[in-house]
Structure 1
Amino acid sequence: MSRTFDDARRWARFGTALFIKAADDEALDAPSALPGWTRKHLLAHLAANADALGNLVHWAATGEKTLMYSSPEERAAGIEHGGRLPAAELTAWLRLSADTLESAMATLGDEQWQSPVVTAQGRTVPATELPWMRSREVCVHAIDLATGLSFADLPADFLAALCDDVVAKRGGGPGPALVLEATDTGARWELPGEGGPVALAGPLHGITAYLTGRDTTLGGEPAPTLAAWL
């Protein structure tokens, strides 16, 4: 599907509310679905991500170069520090950073939204990409909190857009050639790779979980191992 700027804004708001609600749990020291990370680490990551995207909003608004993070080491250290904060303090940071980012984005005019900024991966993109970047973080990591949510709880149009995004990113890297078909929507993706294409089918939410590395099966059957997505 062809996602729009308004779509991304809507998904970012939806995912933020979903993540914050899922994070409203006393067991924040429990493991998340990500190896080596507790739920606290995920909260710290999402809070820091909002602050970092806020840096890019500032760049777009003022023209003053403001990187997301000063370095990968600074980013990692911030997450580790946040993971050790008391739950109340960490939750307050999560909420404040999300509100501050939303308020900052709301002030950007049409011309400012077209301003080029640089992501943490070094890609130069227009500021219009920032809501999509945020929606991916909050929606996917809401599932990673391991509080009972699944990809089936996310909007179908977001899932389709995420599959488009993942396939585009995976298309240039190593891995098996795949043809994936969503049995509930009819959507289809071709992933170039090594060997003859393997045909896989399943519900849209299952395909999304597989492509993002959150499941190693599809339709209950083992699926080819994929390399890291991001």
Structure 2
Amino acid sequence: MMDHAHDLASVHDATERLLRAVAALDNAAVTQASRLPGWTHGHVLAHLARNADALVNVLEGRPMYVSGAAREADIERDAPRPLNVQLDDVRESAVRFQEASTAPGDRSRTVELRNGVTDRAERLPFRRWVEVELHHVDLGIGYELEDLPADFTEREIRFLVARFAGHQDVPTTRLATDDGRTWTTGGGAPGDPAAVEGTAAELLGWLAGRRDGSGLTVTSGTLPALPPL
């Protein structure tokens, strides 16, 4: 069940956490490596700002990005900017997203994202929440998967479990947390079923491509190699 107001408030809170953390860095941090291959902190921050504007485009009936090449070019253009400029851009683009998300309209309508992906307009705040939380972790500046809000972690696990359900490259895989929650994903590829256990943070890290699964316990079969998101 979507709670649009809750998700927008959560996006705001997550953005404020990120802005406070980044504001404590020095200007040289912009060009330092993030945890994402080939991306500096500046690339991550530029992506977050441009993603907010891209979701505004979606909400207002325009293509999310002009093209994949234009998306990449915008990030490369904006990545080297000074820290104060990056912070202002993330903050101001976040305000634009909040305003577009609260504008009158049919939130049950179908909207188109990248690469032909569609969703309901009411789900975009959650998608933005995912961007802010996971990319805060990707910065590698002290915010870890274990620090994510518990309700966010569980919802993102459910989202990714659904995304990989029936995927042609993922055999049936049962996931369990150490406190007894369970999910099943995959099922589209031949092979013995797998079962893995771990903390919610470790499961999310593996599903989201942020950890290699070495923190999980494989109790049956073999840990599948998940396709990129």
Structure 1 partner of 2:128: 134
- RMSD of aligned residue pairs (Cα, Å): 2.0
1:110-163 residue CA offsets vs partner (Å, 9 max, x unmatched): x43233321113223221121011011001111001001111111111111101
The answer to whether the 8 Å contact 1:179/1:189 transfers is yes
Give the percent of matched residue pairs that are identical in Structure 1 and Structure 2.
Answer: 31
Q: 1:58 aligns with which of 29, 44, 60?
A: 60
Structure 2 partner of 1:159: 153
Structure 1 partner of 2:14: 15
Give the TM-score of the pair, scaled to structure 1.
0.87
Shift of 1:8: 2.6
The answer to whether the 8 Å contact 2:202/2:216 transfers is no
Structure 2 partner of 1:63: none
Q: Distance in 2 between matches of 1:5 and 1:166?
A: 20
The count of corresponding residues between Structure 1 and Structure 2 is: 220
Q: Bigger CA drift: 84-93 or 74-83?
A: 84-93
Which structure 1 residue ranges, 5 or more long, are not aligned? 60-65
Structure 2 counterpart SS, 1:31: coil
Q: Residues 39, 130 of structure 1: CA spacing in aligned structure 2 closer, same or farther, 3 A cutoff?
A: same
Q: Distance in 2 between matches of 1:173 and 1:23?
A: 39
Higher RCO (CA < 8 A, seq sep 6+):
1
Shift of 1:196: 1.5
- The amino acid across from 2:40 in the alignment is T
Q: Distance in 1 between matches of 2:119 and 2:215?
A: 36
Q: Distance in 1 between matches of 2:4 and 2:214?
A: 30
Question: 1:63-78 to 2 correspondence within 5 Å?
Answer: 66-78=62-74
Q: Residues 135, 189 of structure 1: CA spacing in aligned structure 2 closer, same or farther, 3 A cutoff?
A: same
The answer to whether the 8 Å contact 1:18/1:139 transfers is no
- The amino acid across from 1:54 in the alignment is V
Moved over 6 A (4+): none
Q: 1:210 aligns with which of 203, 206, 212?
A: 206
Structure 1 partner of 2:78: 82
Give the TM-score of the pair, scaled to structure 2.
0.87
Structure 2 counterpart SS, 1:180: strand
Which structure 2 residue ranges, 5 or more long, are not aligned? none
Question: 1:84-99 to 2 correspondence within 5 Å?
Answer: 84-99=80-95
The answer to whether the 8 Å contact 1:178/1:190 transfers is yes
Shift of 1:7: 4.0
The answer to whether the 8 Å contact 2:112/2:118 transfers is yes
